Homo-oligomer: A and B are copies of this chain.
């Protein structure tokens, strides 16, 4: 079996490297740098409104003619749940006291918008080469419109079952997101984190379960792990954490500092920041309240009650309430530009694959 070129052919890219969309941590600058280098840059739109999405894609299209990916969340926004919200604020009560915050002054979290008609219309207008979804798929009618516009559609699966579901719902390729991955888990057929498979186990089982090409994600951060993912049968890789170290990243100084000293055993999946399981570097609130808490309200509303604590602590230089998203391989990161990183990762993987004599 040789290199599976389906993804680079499908997307029209040179290198089998997709920069993971990281809501809040990357915008147009990183997309431009990665796509210009021959990978696939990804614009995360989960925290953007329609005007921002249009503006960011506009900037990208002015600066590169290379293929790009535009990413949306596909959660169902929760109904207001005042009782649960009250329990959550009570759980955090001691922190409010510590920082002299009046619980009643804390505004509710803004409800993030999942992929919808308005975003779909922008996709039809701006026709990014790839549109990716997280937390399952949007309404089939919207998927049809996106595909009719000529965009390739991909989505994250955290199990072979989810991968089969995605293939049946029109995905042109599937991101197999292993347990190691930083940020939000794309899981949508289950909410049980105990059964989530690591990348080494997940990728071959997803490859065997579907006929579309598979993109490996989770714990991939250098040439060794890219080469390994291709050996597993992946047609490309999606890399997030390694791009957080680049100047194009929007990661805060506190986040970068935490990443620089990260080790393999310092992350956990937590729902305390947003209400959905997401992997980040362990900090005070994760340790005290989580990492998983039954008290955390539904995604994305958990974030509201933490916002004032985050702001006050960050003023003091503390990341006690900050979401420090990171996968398990942050330690493999290096500080360089996003374009250079893309080229270097590809070159390292190529060298490793080419030089390897068998045993």
**What is A's interface to B at a CB cutoff of 8 Å?**
1-3, 5, 8, 15-16, 158-161, 178-180, 190, 194-202, 204-206, 208, 218-222, 224-225, 227-233, 263-269, 282, 291, 327-329, 331-332, 346, 349-359
Q: Judging by beta carbons under 8 Å apart, are A350 and B356 in contact?
A: no
A199 to B221 CA separation, bound complex (whole angstroms) = 13
Given the interface contacts A205-B331, A264-B205, A350-B359, does A218 sit within 8 Å of B198 by beta carbon?
yes
Choice from B224, B231, B351 contacting A224 with Cβ under 8 Å? B231
The docked-state distance in angstroms from the alpha carbon of A225 to that of B207 is 12
| For the complex of A and B, 6 pairs with smallest distance between CB atoms | A198-B198, A201-B219, A201-B328, A200-B219, A228-B228, A227-B231
Partner of A180, one of B200, B224, B329, B349: B200
Given A159-B264, A205-B332: A16 and B359 within 8 A (CB)? yes
Using known A-B contacts A225-B200, A231-B224, A327-B201, determine if residue A263 contacts B160 with beta carbons closer than 8 Å: yes
Select which of B195, B196, B206, B356 is within 8 A of A230 by beta carbon: B356
* Inter-subunit contact A265/B331 (CB<8 Å): no
Instruction: List B contacts of A267 (CB < 8 A).
Output: 195
Residues B263 and A1 in contact, CB atoms below 8 Å apart: no
Knowing A227-B231, A265-B190, A356-B3 are in contact, say whether A220-B200 is a contact too (CB < 8 A): yes
What is the CB-to-nearest-CB distance from A16 to chain B, in angstroms, rounded to a whole number?
Answer: 6
Q: Which of these, B179, B230, B356, contacts A198 with CB under 8 Å?
A: B179
- A291: which B residues are within 8 A, CB to CB? 194
Contacts of A206 in B (CB 8 A): 264
CB distance from A260 to the nearest CB of B (A): 15
Cβ–Cβ < 8 Å partners of A349 in chain B: 358-359
- Residues of B near A196 (CB, < 8 A) are 265
Residue numbers in B under 8 Å from A266 (CB-CB) = 195
B-chain residues with CB within 8 Å of residue A194 when the two chains form the complex: 268-269, 291
A204 touches B231 (CB 8 A): no
Nearest chain B CB to A10 CB, angstrom units: 14
**Of all chain B residues, which has the CB nearest A269?**
B194
B residues less than 8 Å from A264 (CB atoms): 159-160, 197, 201-202, 205-206
Q: A359 to B5, Cβ gap below 8 A?
A: yes
Docked pose: A50 CA to B300 CA in angstroms? 57
Which residues of the partner chain B approach A204 to less than 8 Å between Cβ atoms?
A: 222, 224-225, 329, 332
When chains A and B are docked, how far (Å) is the Cα of A178 from the Cα of B178? 12
B198 touches A199 (CB 8 A): yes
* Cα distance, A8 to B265, chains bound together (Å): 29
Contact A197 B328 (CB under 8 A): yes
8 new A-B contacts at CB < 8 Å, known A3-B359, A205-B331: A1-B352, A2-B356, A195-B268, A200-B218, A200-B329, A204-B332, A205-B264, A353-B358
